[in-house]
Amino acid sequence: MLVVTVAGLCSWFVVRRVQSKWSFAVFLIVTVMVSIVVIDDVRTAGVMRDDTGPAHDRVYSIVYCNSTALFPFVIQKHHNWTAKSYVYLVRYLNHDGLIVYQTEPAPDQSEFMHWTKFQISVSNCILGFFIALLVIPSVEFPIRYRKLRRNWYPESEFNR
C-alpha cells in the first residue's frame, strides 16, 4: 500500500514540474503498473508456516505471508485442518499487531485461498491510490495559493 502511494506521488510531482497537463495521466499509469507489481509480489511472497499442536495431530496452522510491498500490513492465514476452513487476517505492522481486516471462514480449496489473497492485495492497492489522491490536493493547494498570492502582491513582504 505504501509503495503504491509513494510511487504515485513521486510520478505526480516529477511530471508536474515538466508538464502539468500530463501529470494526472502519468499518475494513473504509474499507480496501475505499481499495483500490478505489488499484487504479483503478494502472490509470490515468502510464506512461513507455524503448525500448532503435535505433528501427528495437526489441527491448526498459521501461515504468514511476508510481503514487503504491503507494508505496513501483514497477511496471516489461519487454517483449521479439522474443519477444513481458513480465515485471512490483515494485521498492522507485525504478526501480533492489531487486526485491521478479517475474512469470513471459507472452505480450504486453493482457488478460494488464492482469490481471497488477491482481493486483499487489490484492496490495499486501492487504499494506497486513494491516500495518494488525498495527499495531492493537500500539497498542491498551498503551492498554488503561494503562487497566486505572489502574483497579487508582487512587492509584499511575503515574497521576500
Q: Domain residues for 117?
A: 2-159
For 153, which DSSP code?
A: -
Question: DSSP E strands: which ranges in 58-98?
Answer: 60-66, 73-80, 85-92
Nearest to 90 by CA among 115, 61, 119, 50: 119
User: What total of structural domains would you count in the chain?
Assistant: 1
Residues 110, 111, 112: CA angle, nearest 5 degrees: 90
pTM metric for this prediction: 0.71
Residues 23-51 have pLDDT tens digits of 888 888 888 888 888 888 877 777 776 76
Residues 90-134 have pLDDT tens digits of 888 877 888 888 888 888 787 788 888 888 888 888 888 888 888
**Which uninterrupted H or E stretch holds 46?**
strand 46-52
Q: Is the pLDDT of residue 10 over 80?
A: yes
